[in-house]
Amino acid sequence: MDNPSSSSRFESFPMGLRVLVVDDDLTWLKILEKMLRKCFYEVTTCCKARAALDLLREKKDKFDIVISDVNMPDMDGFKLLEHVGLEMDLPVIMMSVDGETSRVMKGVQHGACDYLLKPIRMKELRNIWQHVYRKRVVEVKDMEIQDINEEIYILRSGFEHFDDRLFMTSIEMTSSSSSSSRKRDAREFGDLELCDPAAAKKARVIWSVDLHQKFVNAVDQIGFHKVGPKKILDLMNVPGLTRENIASHLQKYRMYLGRLQKQQETRALSSNIQSDLSPEDHSQSIDCQNPLQFTQNTEANSCGNNPHKFLEKVMLQDAQKSDPKNPDFFLGKDSNGGVNAADTTHPQKTNGGPRPAPLLHFKGMSPGADHKQAHPTLSKQQLWHDSLPLRQFMRYPKHDHEPFSLLDDYSLPAPTHEPRVSPWHSQCPPSLVSISSSNEKEEPDFVVKSRKVQNLNNTSSVSIQVEHGAVNSKEFGGIYEHNRSHDWIPPQTKLNTGTEPELIALSEDTNMYSVQGVDFNGSEMQPHNNECAASLTHLQSNWYDELEYSCEYLYDSLDYPLLDECLFA
Amino acid sequence: MEYAGLRRQAAYTRKALFDQGYLDEQFYQLEDLQDDVTPNFVEEVVTLFFKDSSRLLSSIMQDLEKSSPDFQKLDAHMHQFKGSISSIGALKVKNECTLLGEYCSNKNLDGCIKAIHKVKREHAILKQKLEAYFQLLRQIGPAEGATRPVE
């Protein structure tokens, strides 16, 4: 599923489903193999759990699903299940003769997507493709979510390095770190991303949406840094849930976050290239996160939680998409492809308040024209909103940056692109993939539009941002980095929960912030832009990855509706 | 013709295996899986089953022969054995095995030992009957299976 190359297999799906069967019972192995072959699946059998694990590690993308016995002498089937879930992110079906509830429950807790009792019937095996398919659907959703998250990230951290810098150095007041150092950061991030790809696949637990939401809520409540399985367990207070389950889920969640970070990075890079985003991104990034530094958890939490929560608000932003305002600027920059040119111009404008993304937006956006435009655009966006209200919210940050705008533009005007793209964008602003691909290919025109949109978005999003900013200021006072990451999450929650008085007060504070942020950005932003160009190579690689994804998604366009259900959404 | 007689006999033997409770519907499943690609599938599976289950049975016997059996280990072996039994639908063996499992969970060693012997007996009877059945099938024709059946 993960392989784009497997697209050909999609055509005949579920025929050709690649199944690995692990059972120490040779008789069953033979029977299962025959049954699966009769289903036209591609079967590999293995009678040793360890050998199976080695095989899976060796040929990571050679299997779609694993069927494993629970009782195996060389390794507990649950253990294998856990490894497969975490390392390969493959759906695993457990089987045993024993239908004891506790045992089945254990299997499910460890992430089994199904639990079959021996004797297994062929009709049961005939249906196993659904687990693979479901996972794809969920992944699509995840991608959307990720996109949203990415957007958020971009908003927050337009440049992750920037954020990192702020994080690492801000404390030291070395915010003015040299571009080289930033580059280095970027590279490091890139590497991380490269490594994470596996993580990107992150195993999906069968957690229900509700359960996962509880989990996310608990994580948010505790705070990323302090999160621990036990604490989450206590907070969630769900009977039957074990610390183990949570630990496993948390691990996956972190990986998921890590993946998001990567995507964000790529986006950030792309945005940097465009240069427009950089300032805004920085501000945003600062506010929300230093994903890398903070650890994936924080990011994930912030992203996961925020996107949804934000989405509602974002919708407003989406409306902004159609900003006529700064087309020229954007165009010029985009056409140049030149990160530098665009960067310089935009950054300054937007940069005004780079680190407090909200602030920046406000500043840049503040112009009445933007706001006005945003409103009209809203109608268009509303369509999107209907489908993905939450996600839209996320977008808004993206809009500020180029990627978002691009996406929006696509969705609105151009159904021509794949239907998918638009949905994605609308739904999940963060979806880096779609954005990235579109940006690269369609660069100039889109960019321009997107930028306009961004402006609009900024205006609309102002209220939200302000709130965030306020939160940040209050909570963190001087220190931006940590706070920012936190802020992002809390703002959403706060917004949702809605302590209105506080928020209002905050908004005022945020304005102050923005001013400060602007100063910072002005000095620092430029270097980023330059760096952006350097990072282009990285971006490109990322882009390709994303492109691949998008291709796959295209296939799954039908799945969109499902996206909403994603756990991580 | 003798051929027709053999066929009838084979059919009768097969029916008796079900009627007398030796086999359950899992065996039908195996028969359904047999096709042109694997004309001897059922027999191959049954052969494999007896080979594997005999090994598991003896390891259970060994567990019980110890003065102070490790019930945890015994349970694991029991589990494997039960899984194996389910593969061909050996109903009688399975029923005896269920009794054995109860004795095991009660840590009733005497009961276990009695039960394991019953299991072993049923296992042997089934093997014998299935061997006879496949013998018949082989006589009927190559299409029905020409390989040696049960060991």
Contact B74, B60 (CB under 8 A): yes
- Give residue-wise pLDDT tens across range A315-364: 444 444 444 444 443 333 333 443 443 343 343 443 433 444 333 343 33
User: How far, in Å, are A454, A558, B108 from residue A428 at the CA level?
Assistant: 15, 16, 62
CATH code matching the domain that covers B3-139, chosen among 1.20.58.220, 1.20.120.160, 3.30.70.3460, 1.20.140.10: 1.20.120.160
Q: Give residue A43's pLDDT.
A: 95
As a whole number of Å, the end-to-end CA separation of chain B is 30
CA angle at A115 for the pair A114 and A117, rounded to the nearest 5°: 145
Query: How far is residue A183's CA from residue A188's CA, in Å, rounded to a whole number?
Result: 8
Q: Please answer yes or no on whether A34 and B38 come within 8 Å at the CB atom.
A: yes
Q: Please answer yes or no on whether A25 and B80 come within 8 Å at the CB atom.
A: yes
A260 vs A294, higher pLDDT = A260
* pLDDT > 70? residue A301: no
Mean pLDDT of chain A: 57
A561 Cβ contact partners less than 8 Å away, ≥ 6 residues apart: none
Tokens representing A253 are 């969640």
Locus of tokens 């479901």: A134
Contact B7, B13 (CB under 8 A): no
Contacts of A28 in chain B (CB under 8 A): 83-84, 86-87
When CB atoms are compared, the residue of B41, B49, B52 closest to A34 is: B41
* pLDDT > 50? residue A556: no
Chain A closest-CA separation from residue B4 CA (Å)? 30
- Give residue-wise pLDDT tens across range A9-44: 566 788 889 999 999 999 999 999 999 999 999 999
Backbone angle region of A179, left / alpha / beta, with phi > 0 → left and psi within -120 to 50 → alpha: alpha
A542 vs B64, higher pLDDT = B64
Chain A closest-CA separation from residue B47 CA (Å)? 9
Please indicate if any CB of chain B lies within 8 Å of the CB of A122.
yes
Q: How confident is the model at residue A249 (pLDDT cuts 50, 70, 90)?
A: confident
A14-28, A50-64, A220-234, range with the lowest pLDDT: A220-234
Residues 214-273 of A with CB under 8 A from B: none
Q: Give residue B69's pLDDT.
A: 83
Q: Give residue A310's pLDDT.
A: 41
- Give residue-wise pLDDT tens across range A486-500: 444 444 433 443 334
A32-41, A48-57, A476-485, range with the lowest pLDDT: A476-485
Nearest CA in chain B to A37: B33
Q: Give residue B48's pLDDT.
A: 95
Q: How confident is the model at residue A281 (pLDDT cuts 50, 70, 90)?
A: very low
Query: How far is residue A334's CA from residue A365's CA, in Å, rounded to a whole number?
Result: 20
Contacts of B79 in chain A (CB under 8 A): 71, 96-98
Q: How confident is the model at residue A430 (pLDDT cuts 50, 70, 90)?
A: very low
ipTM of the complex: 0.92
A400 vs B91, higher pLDDT = B91
Nearest to A517 by CA among A483, A480, A486: A480
Chain B closest-CA separation from residue A68 CA (Å)? 13
Chain B closest-CA separation from residue A76 CA (Å)? 11
* pLDDT > 50? residue A308: no
The residue-averaged pLDDT of B48-75 equals 90
Domain boundaries, chain B: 3-139
Contact A449, A481 (CB under 8 A): no
Q: Give residue A71's pLDDT.
A: 86
Q: Please answer yes or no on whether A24 and B80 come within 8 Å at the CB atom.
A: yes
β-pairing, A18-22 with A42-46?
Answer: parallel
Q: Please answer yes or no on whether A121 and B29 come within 8 Å at the CB atom.
A: yes
Q: How confident is the model at residue A459 (pLDDT cuts 50, 70, 90)?
A: very low
**Polymer length of chain B:** 151
Nearest CA in chain A to B42: A31
When CB atoms are compared, the residue of B33, B45, B79 closest to A27 is: B45
Contacts of A36 in chain B (CB under 8 A): none
Q: Give residue A270's pLDDT.
A: 60
Query: How far is residue A130's CA from residue A120's CA, in Å, rounded to a whole number?
Result: 17
- Give residue-wise pLDDT tens across range A355-393: 443 333 433 344 444 444 444 444 444 444 444 444 434
Contacts of B80 in chain A (CB under 8 A): 24-25, 71, 73
Task: For residue B39, count other CB atoms closer than 10 A to its CB.
Answer: 16
- Give residue-wise pLDDT tens across range A498-546: 334 444 444 444 444 433 334 444 344 444 444 444 444 444 444 444 4
Burial bucket for residue B111 (CB in 10 Å: 0-12, 13-18, 19+):
middle
Q: Please answer yes or no on whether A25 and B83 come within 8 Å at the CB atom.
A: yes
Q: Give residue A11's pLDDT.
A: 67
Contacts of A118 in chain B (CB under 8 A): 83, 86-87
Please indicate if any CB of chain B lies within 8 Å of the CB of A125.
no
Residues 65-104 of B with CB under 8 A from A: 76, 79-80, 82-84, 86-89
Q: What is the Cα gyration radius of chain B? A: 17
The residue-averaged pLDDT of A257-276 equals 64
Please indicate if any CB of chain B lies within 8 Å of the CB of A27.
yes
Tokens representing B124 are 């042997």
- Give residue-wise pLDDT tens across range A85-140: 888 888 999 999 988 898 899 898 888 999 999 999 998 998 899 998 888 887 78
User: How far, in Å, are A142, A276, A377, A384, A445 from residue A410 at the CA level?
Assistant: 20, 18, 14, 12, 10
Please indicate if any CB of chain A lies within 8 Å of the CB of B151.
no
Residues 101-120 of A with CB under 8 A from B: 118-119
Please indicate if any CB of chain A lies within 8 Å of the CB of B137.
no
When CB atoms are compared, the residue of A30, A35, A118 closest to B83 is: A118
Q: Please answer yes or no on whether A35 and B33 come within 8 Å at the CB atom.
A: yes
* pLDDT > 90? residue B16: yes
A565 Cβ contact partners less than 8 Å away, ≥ 6 residues apart: A138, A141, A209
* pLDDT > 90? residue B131: yes
* pLDDT > 60? residue A277: no
Per cent of chain B over pLDDT 70 is 93
When CB atoms are compared, the residue of A38, A69, A98 closest to B33 is: A38
Contact A348, A280 (CB under 8 A): no
Contacts of A122 in chain B (CB under 8 A): 29, 32-33
Contacts of A25 in chain B (CB under 8 A): 52, 80, 83-84, 87
Q: Give residue A157's pLDDT.
A: 53
Q: Please answer yes or no on whether A31 and B79 come within 8 Å at the CB atom.
A: no
